[in-house]
Amino acid sequence: MSRFRIALIKPNIGVRIHSGRRDNAAMEPLGLSVLAGLTPPEAEGFLVDDRLEPVPYDTPTDLAAITVETFTARRAYQIADEYRRRGVPVVMGGMHPFLVPDETANHADSLLIGDAEGAWPGLVADAMAGRLRSRYTCPDDRPIQDGTIPDRSIFGKRRYLPIHLMQFSRGCPYRCKYCAISTYFSATHHTRPPEEVVDEIRVAGSRRVFFVDDNLVGHRDAAKELFRALIPLRIHWVSQGSVDMLADSELMDLMMRSGCLGHVIGFESLSDGSLREMRKGINRRFAPDQYREAVERIRHWGMQVWAAMTLGHDPDTLESIEAACSWAISTKFTFAAYNILMPYPATPLYEKLAAEGRLLYDGKWWLHDDYRFNDAAFKPMNMTAEELTEAAFACRKRFNSPRSVIVRAFDFRTNMRNPLRLATYVAYNPIFKREVYEKQGMPFGYGKERPA
Ligand code: B12
Ligand code: SF4
């Protein structure tokens, strides 16, 4: 008898301006390899990466398992509706089903709310027995990945960016008002035993790792243990960490010795008013001098930083947004993201804007026909939504302009510190620049397969 076949599906956001349906900067979908690793042996998972290939609706499939983020919800529902039309049951999981389960349930036979550990094997057994329940939840206190190693064989020969995605921790102890992570994990932070991570790196044969943790340094002592365990491996890695890590010299020393090339750091804003408004207390210690001390420490340690800024907080003005752009260029950050503040459903920000009647697109921008990637989805306080959209796009264009790339390269303590740093700078700046233009104004979902 053939094994029960589960399509593990990563939906695309939409059709890109130049490369169409293909995403040339796609990374391994780690969550789906975790699901594959947790799948009992009576069943077999195979990957469908909608960012890279057409969905094989005609391939024999017993269950379609779709991971859904708010940005991919519209496309996910199209895929789900098509599978269900063909009689294949659909289960959805990930961030968006957790945030808006009732909406997601309209397009699925079953939802897994929250992390899959502890719930997925039972769900698969039920599906095999033809008695899928409408909802499953992860029992509390299951260890991340249930102590197993993700099954990366599902990636096959697909051409992802050449870096392995892994996780040491999940969640973040802080409560920034706009953050979907804070809602999903209720401001908790959990870590794996460092030796398990080391094993995973050895098995995957990784020389370059992206720790996709929400905040790798959310628990400093645990992070120090991890870094000590990584030092002998002599790998290079990148991750995401909150700016307060810079205040702990022991942490930073261990981090850099363990092979850290850089981090995404959420600076978010130069304005104390905006930081207070977003409840980002951890940044306020460094913000009063425009992060001068933080930047000095970054340069001391020689980190390459992807500076994340959010634009559109109530105190923000067009002038303050432009100043944030100039600051990131003159600081010579390796990369920067200028994200418009997004009202993700079920976050405190969403509730506030809804209560004030400031949400656009009927409050469901992720499903709206007229919404486009990188459009502001709410009425800002000191400008129009269109002005905010334009100002953010202008920042992205300016930061990624040829002049800026040349200016930012000339930092001998970060981007030109050694050949590896320069190679990273030269290889990835064009990729991220292309992303800016490809994604701007992209409609969600694919035209022909509209959600019911
Ligand atoms: C790594 C990452 C990226 C990488 C890409 C990774 C990749 N493979 O392509 C990069 C940097 C490119 C990226 C880009 C973006 N990202 Co991103 N990203 C992440 C991050 C930090 C980790 C994701 C991850 O791998 N987690 C580890 C795995 C193991 O966990 P998981 O996927 O959640 O899966 C577990 C469960 O959720 C569950 N599960 C998940 N799916 C399913 C499906 C089924 C059927 C079942 C049963 C269970 C299940 O089981 C898994 C095991 O427990 C998350 C934060 C987060 N914690 O989710 C943000 C996050 C997903 N990203 C986010 C955003 C906004 C983006 C961007 C849109 C940003 C932008 N403006 O450009 C883009 C576009 C994303 C896209 N879809 O193309 C938001 C999404 C918010 C939301 N409400 O949906 C998040 C949550 C960050 C945040 N702070 O809000 N991202
Ligand atoms: S520090 Fe980052 S991950 Fe943590 S709650 Fe704030 S925005 Fe979210």
> Residue 448 pLDDT > 60, yes or no?
no
The structure tokens listed for 324 are: 């944030």
The answer, yes or no, to whether any atom of ligand 1 lies below 6 A from the CB of 180, is yes
Question: Domain 4-144 falls in which CATH fold?
Answer: Rossmann fold (3.40.50)
Question: Domain 162-417 falls in which CATH fold?
Answer: TIM Barrel (3.20.20)
In ligand 1, which atom is closest to the CA atom of 30? 25
Please report which confidence band the pLDDT of residue 450 belongs to, taking 50, 70 and 90 as the band edges.
very low
Please report which confidence band the pLDDT of residue 449 belongs to, taking 50, 70 and 90 as the band edges.
very low
* Residue pLDDT, tens place only, 248-301: 999 999 999 999 999 999 999 999 999 999 999 999 988 888 899 999 999 999
Residues, the chain, total? Answer: 452
The answer, yes or no, to whether any atom of ligand 1 lies below 6 A from the CB of 388, is no
* Residue pLDDT, tens place only, 164-197: 999 999 999 999 999 999 999 999 999 999 999 9
- The predicted pLDDT at position 1 comes to 64
The segment(s) of the chain belonging to CATH 3.40.50 are: 4-144
- What average pLDDT does range 12-24 have in this prediction? 83
- The predicted pLDDT at position 18 comes to 75
The segment(s) of the chain belonging to CATH 3.20.20.70 are: 162-417
The structure tokens listed for 250 are: 């022991």
* Residue pLDDT, tens place only, 22-63: 888 899 999 999 999 999 999 999 999 999 999 999 999 999
The answer, yes or no, to whether any atom of ligand 1 lies below 6 A from the CB of 415, is no
The secondary structure of 420-433 as a DSSP string is: HHHHHHHHHHHHHH
As a 3-state breakdown, the chain gives helix, strand, coil percent values, each rounded to 5, of: 40, 20, 40
Query: What is the sign of the dihedral through the CA atoms of 3, 6, 8 and 12?
Result: positive
- Asked if 342 contacts 377 with a C-beta cutoff of 8 angstroms, the reply is yes
Closest CA to 46 of 56, 36, 54, 55: 36
Sheet holding 164-166, edge to edge: 164-166, 208-211, 236-240, 260-268, 304-311, 335-340
| Percent of the chain topping pLDDT 70 | 99
What spacing in Å lies between the alpha carbon of 225 and ligand 1's midpoint?
25
The answer, yes or no, to whether any atom of ligand 1 lies below 6 A from the CB of 181, is yes
The secondary structure of 221-255 as a DSSP string is: HHHHHHHHHHGGG--EEEEE--GGGGG-HHHHHHH
Query: What is the sign of the dihedral through the CA atoms of 158, 162, 167 and 172?
Result: negative
